[in-house]
């Protein structure tokens, strides 16, 4: 089903800052830390609105006189990629006098070598006078926010999104980052954001790593049902529709997952004609089209998992304690293999353990699919 272009529910890509639901506390925390020159590491599962939240922080930070720079490291493969992403980010994030200043600074920076572009690569700023030194090029770009703060007397906030991806460029590249950032004091604040908890834990939670204990943690939690209910109902009412009869079912299935809640609401809205009320038939129709949309992706996720993770995931989806006898009998789990599988699922952002040691799956729709025998129930 192709959703109408005028749907008030967007979920396929980052939403506008004004569409965020109930994240004011996290935004204020991040801004307060930035204004105080403190660094934060933000970890959130995929599709939890991390990028939209970061864009809102940068927008609101500019209103408080912060200079904001957003760098997305998704997919970087080399130090040259990393340096180039930073270079491009300053060109895109700054405006006015600051953009003009950086245009001049860029001419003085050491050139970057070959940058990966899928199976190919391209030369960026090749220096005919000698070999390219990407280590020096990266250090110079990491020094840019401190130069900016000193030159213009402005506090700078740099957001490194998908920061864990830099490990793919070089297993020790975090030492290069740390060697420069440690000299920036409170003139520059950093938000290190990531969607792979395992790699972010490796970067910031391992005593042997340069960034150990160098950024205060902040995790995005599921959205409360009341906040989601208010927002979904408001958007339905604003477009002359009513979802009150089935809203509780939607909230129960979404389980506080931001993107999945909007996805369910979008399909429910599409099946609800203007000036009408969604009912049980409408809800079933919405679930059917959601199932068509997610099925192929769920099968791919399942197929790429080793059998130990599938067994642990099946137990969690069924609500069976993964280390209990029922899980062993129904799903073929074993204590040692399950412990390793759960940790890997957590590292990949598929599952989470609460403070009481209870495990849950992150994606409620994937949970429904697995629990129903790896199919979308009718």
Three-class SS string for 152-165?
A: HCCCEEEEEECHHH
**Residue 92 carries which DSSP code?**
H
**CB contact burial 16-29 (16+ within 10 A = b; e otherwise):** ebebbbebeebbee
Whether the model clears a pTM of 0.75, i.e. scores above it, the answer is yes
Q: How many CB atoms lie within 10 A of CB 154?
A: 14
Question: Which pLDDT value is given to residue 130?
Answer: 45
Question: Which pLDDT value is given to residue 128?
Answer: 43
For the chain, which residues make up each domain, given as ranges? 23-219, 225-301, 305-371
Helix (H, G, I), strand (E, B) or coil at 141: helix
Measured CA to CA, the distance from residue 174 to residue 301 in angstroms comes to 30
- Nearest 5 degrees, angle CA 349-CA 354-CA 359? 65
Measured CA to CA, the distance from residue 45 to residue 70 in angstroms comes to 19
Residue that is written with structure tokens 């197929």 in the block:
303
Tokens linked to 49: 């609105």
Class of 23-219 in CATH = alpha beta
**Nearest to 134, CA basis, from 82, 63, 87:** 82
- Name every residue whose Cβ is closer than 8 Å to that of residue 166 and which is 6 or more positions away in sequence: 73, 76, 82, 173, 174, 177
Beta strands in the chain (DSSP E): 40-43, 67-72, 114-117, 120-123, 156-161, 188-194, 216-219, 351-353, 359-361
Helix (H, G, I), strand (E, B) or coil at 42: strand
Return the CATH number of 305-371, one of 1.20.58.220, 3.50.50.60, 2.60.40.1180, 1.10.10.10: 1.10.10.10
* Residues in the chain, pLDDT under 50: 115, 117-131
Tokens linked to 109: 């920076």
Measured CA to CA, the distance from residue 352 to residue 112 in angstroms comes to 39
Q: How many CB atoms lie within 10 A of CB 58?
A: 23
**CA 165 → CA 83, 121, 161, 217, distances in Å?**
13, 18, 9, 18
Question: Which pLDDT value is given to residue 117?
Answer: 45
How are beta strands 351-353 and 67-72 bridged, if at all? unpaired
Question: Which pLDDT value is given to residue 125?
Answer: 47
Over the stretch 263-275, which tens digit does the pLDDT of each residue have?
999 999 999 999 9
**Nearest to 45, CA basis, from 203, 256, 189, 205:** 256
For residue 42, the cross-strand partners are: 193, 218
How many CA atoms, within 13 angstroms, populate the side-chain half-sphere of residue 199? Answer: 19
For residue 161, the cross-strand partners are: 72
Contact between 215 and 365 under an 8 Å Cβ cutoff? The reply is no
Contact between 26 and 53 under an 8 Å Cβ cutoff? The reply is yes
How many CA atoms, within 13 angstroms, populate the side-chain half-sphere of residue 324? Answer: 12
For residue 357, the cross-strand partners are: none
Tokens linked to 58: 């940068």
Tokens linked to 22: 């109930």
Measured CA to CA, the distance from residue 144 to residue 123 in angstroms comes to 22
Residue 264 main-chain phi, psi, to 5 deg: -60, -45
Helix (H) or strand (E) holding 188: strand 188-194
């Amino acid at each position: 089903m192709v959703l109408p272009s005028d749907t008030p529910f967007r979920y396929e890509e980052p939403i506008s800052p004004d569409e965020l639901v109930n994240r004011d506390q996290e935004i204020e925390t991040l801004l307060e830390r930035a204004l105080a020159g403190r660094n934060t590491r933000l970890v959130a599962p995929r599709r939890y609105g991390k990028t939209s939240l970061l864009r809102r922080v940068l927008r609101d930070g500019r209103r408080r006189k912060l200079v904001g720079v957003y760098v997305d490291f998704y997919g970087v493969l080399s130090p040259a990629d990393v340096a180039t992403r930073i270079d491009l980010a300053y060109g895109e994030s700054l405006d006015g006098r600051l953009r003009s200043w950086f245009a001049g600074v860029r001419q003085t920076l050491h050139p970057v070598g070959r940058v990966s572009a899928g199976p190919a690569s391209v030369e960026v700023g090749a220096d005919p006078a000698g070999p390219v030194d990407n280590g020096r090029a990266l250090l110079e770009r990491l020094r840019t926010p401190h130069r900016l703060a000193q030159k213009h007397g402005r506090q700078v906030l740099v957001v490194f999104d998908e920061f864990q991806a830099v490990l793919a460029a070089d297993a020790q590249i975090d030492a290069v980052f740390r060697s420069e950032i440690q000299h920036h004091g409170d003139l520059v604040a950093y938000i290190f954001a990531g969607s792979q908890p395992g790699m972010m834990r490796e970067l910031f939670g391992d005593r042997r790593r340069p960034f150990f204990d160098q950024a205060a943690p902040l995790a995005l939690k599921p959205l409360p049902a009341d906040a989601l209910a208010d927002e979904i109902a408001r958007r339905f009412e604003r477009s002359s529709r009513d979802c009150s009869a089935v809203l509780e079912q939607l909230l129960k299935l979404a389980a506080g997952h931001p993107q999945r809640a909007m996805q369910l609401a979008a399909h429910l809205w599409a099946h609800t004609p203007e000036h009408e009320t969604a009912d049980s038939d409408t809800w079933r129709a919405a679930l059917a089209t959601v199932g068509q949309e997610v099925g192929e992706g769920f099968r791919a996720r399942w197929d790429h998992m080793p059998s130990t993770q599938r067994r642990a995931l099946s137990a969690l989806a069924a609500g069976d304690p993964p280390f209990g006898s029922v899980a062993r009998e129904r799903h073929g789990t074993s204590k040692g293999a399950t412990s390793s599988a759960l940790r890997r699922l957590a590292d990949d952002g598929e599952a989470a353990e609460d403070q009481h040691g209870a495990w849950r799956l992150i994606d409620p729709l994937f949970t429904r699919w697995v629990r129903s025998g790896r199919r979308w129930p009718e």
